[in-house]
């Protein structure tokens, strides 16, 4: 019997409100993390003239979303990483009126034990969003060096990264660590009781992000989005932990208030308009209904003049320094 997976779109009302206030009649958009299609379904219902491209690494999620949304006739499904958004947009020959990314895991990934994303149940130590990808969590945990494991764990601010990397390196000598349950048990056995939940959360998150190249993909998504958007486009991102949010915040802030070297002769205009005044959080009512919305941070900007950033980034720094000193 096929398991039924449902997904509650996080901060959906706020996303729709931002788009409604910022855009007149959006006609082309890209959902970088289609998942089970909750956000995209609402976007298509809200904007009758909209054609949407839904991207996801997860082929299983795409198939479910296709059954849900294909009937609209206004959506294309793309099995790819959102890091390739520039080439994907180019294949449609259009500049997006808005780009949306929900960086959280879908219910399908969390709840399906066999996918190996959750430390709450025991399944294969996999964690691949794209099942055709060669790198799995099992390979990282069993074959990467102790130093590499420490680096991975530190990427999600695990304070005991060095110790836990050493523990895992010793434990795997006794046999392959092949399930999420085994990894959870090892972490529990070497972590104070009160810290176990947060430790597992950080370690599993760090390994998952490494498996799927999430940090580098996000950075590519942001820089590519700016290049393919036009003035008036909206870029909207939901992140779920401080590492992701820091990347998004930094990128947006650079455009909201561009920084230049001291004594720089020109004051560049902002190329982003802040639509959320920093990060928005889910309200109390939503967090009660959907526990996964507790950690979300929603940030959105409107593109004002994309070319400004390109000029600043491409400026010859040595030449600039000479002019400043002179």
Domains in the chain: boundaries: 12-108+215-320, 113-212
Mean predicted confidence (pLDDT) in 135-141? 97
Q: Is 273 helix (H, G, I), strand (E, B) or coil?
A: strand
* pLDDT tens-digit series, residues 65-76: 999 999 999 999
The answer to whether residues 172 and 142 touch, using CB atoms and an 8 Å cutoff, is yes
Is 272 within 8 Å of 136 (Cβ atoms)? Answer: no
Please give the structure tokens belonging to residue 289: 């209904």
Distance separating alpha carbons of residues 252 and 299, to the nearest angstrom: 8
**Cα 314 from Cα 311, distance rounded (Å):** 5
Residue 162 to residue 149: CA distance in whole angstroms? 8
pLDDT of residue 7: 66
Q: What is the pLDDT of residues 193-217, one digit of tens each?
A: 999 999 999 999 999 999 999 999 9
Joined tokens for residue 1: 């019997």
DSSP class of residue 319 equals H
Window from 38-47, 113-122, 243-252, 307-316 with minimum mean pLDDT:
307-316
Fold match flag (12-108+215-320 vs 113-212): no
Fold of 12-108+215-320: Rossmann fold (3.40.50)
Would you place residue 109 in the very low, low, confident or very high pLDDT band (cuts 50, 70, 90)? confident
1 has pLDDT over 50: no
Mean pLDDT across 57-64:
93
User: What pLDDT does 107 receive?
Assistant: 72
pLDDT at 265: 75
Tell me the Cα Rg of the chain. 21
pLDDT at residue 306 in the model:
53
| pLDDT higher than threshold 90 for residue 165 | yes
Residue ranges of alpha helices (H) inside 23-136 are 38-46, 59-69, 85-92, 107-111
- Report domain 113-212's class: mainly alpha
The answer to whether the pTM exceeds 0.85 is: yes
Q: What is the model's pLDDT at position 263?
A: 75
Average pLDDT over residues 295-303: 97
């Amino acid at each position: 019997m096929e398991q039924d997976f449902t997904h509650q779109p996080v901060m959906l009302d706020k996303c729709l409100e931002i788009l409604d206030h910022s855009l007149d009649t959006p006609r082309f958009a890209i959902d970088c993390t289609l998942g089970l299609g909750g956000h995209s379904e609402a976007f298509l219902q809200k904007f009758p003239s909209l054609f949407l491209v839904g991207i996801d690494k997860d082929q299983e999620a795409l198939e479910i979303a296709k059954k849900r949304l294909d009937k609209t006739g206004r959506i294309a499904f793309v099995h790819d990483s959102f890091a390739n958004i520039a080439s994907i947009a180019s294949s449609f020959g259009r500049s997006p009126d808005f780009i949306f990314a929900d960086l959280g895991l879908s219910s399908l990934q969390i709840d399906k034990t066999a996918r190996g994303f959750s430390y709450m149940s025991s399944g294969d130590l996999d964690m691949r969003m794209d099942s055709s990808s060669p790198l799995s969590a099992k390979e990282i945990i069993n074959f990467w060096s102790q130093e590499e494991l420490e680096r991975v764990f530190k990427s999600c601010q695990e304070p005991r990264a060095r110790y836990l990397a050493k523990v895992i390196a010793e434990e795997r000598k006794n046999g392959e660590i092949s399930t999420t349950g085994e990894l959870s048990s090892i972490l529990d056995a070497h972590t104070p009781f009160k810290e176990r939940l947060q430790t597992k959360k950080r370690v599993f998150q760090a390994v998952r992000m490494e498996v799927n190249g999430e940090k580098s993909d996000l950075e590519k998504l942001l820089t590519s989005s700016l290049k393919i958007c036009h003035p008036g486009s909206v870029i909207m991102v939901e992140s779920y932990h401080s590492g992701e949010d820091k990347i998004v915040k930094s990128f947006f802030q650079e455009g909201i208030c561009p920084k230049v070297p001291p004594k720089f002769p020109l004051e560049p205009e902002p190329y982003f308009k802040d639509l959320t005044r920093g990060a928005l959080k889910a309200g109390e009512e939503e967090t009660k209904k959907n526990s996964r919305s507790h950690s979300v941070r929603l940030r959105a900007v409107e593109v004002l003049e994309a070319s400004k950033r390109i000029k600043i980034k491409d400026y010859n720094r040595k030449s600039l320094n000479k002019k400043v000193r002179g």
